[in-house]
Amino acid sequence: MPSDPGVRERLGPYADLILGDNGLVTHGSVEHMAYLEACIESAGFDVKLDDGGLAVNFGSQRAFFENVNAACSKAAETSGLVAPQNFTDERFLSAQYDAFMLTYDCMVREGYPVAAPPSKDTYIEAGGMNWHPYNRLAGDASATESECPQDLVILFQMLASGTAP
């Protein structure tokens, strides 16, 4: 049972972009990260949950770790825990652009360095690879993240509720 059963309602029209039609939990949720942690540990890596992400000591086995991580991520999708994500889908890219515009507006308001965004059409045509509001940040972005989030689940919830960071 997911720790956040109301997430589909809070995501509103963005729910299927994150959860798909039948994903049990969101990408990056506690349950998803715990699944990845256990899966990667089973391959022999030292893994710890660290501030919502995974801290992995892979030593000189980077390539092996990347293969294990990809396999574990795929297994989370195959099991139905999380829905497969299509980051090149035009509908997803359009919503991602809108979400990142919330972050961009917040960063401008808070005085962080940002590059001007391309048009939405240009962003979609480039598959979302030509701009991110955090591109000009240097160093640790945790202070920025707390004020102006970049996590799509959080941003899609804000878009669905009409709030802004």
pLDDT in tens, 58-80: 778 888 988 898 899 889 888 88
**Distance of alpha carbon 102 from alpha carbon 114, whole angstroms:** 13
Q: What is the pLDDT of residues 107-144, one digit of tens each?
A: 999 999 999 999 999 999 998 889 999 888 877 777 88
Residue among 66, 37, 62 at smallest CA distance from 49: 37
Q: Measured between alpha carbons, how far is 116 from 108 in angstroms, rounded to an integer?
A: 10
pLDDT of residue 1: 36
- Centre a 10 Å sphere on the Cβ of residue 47 and count the other Cβ atoms it contains: 22
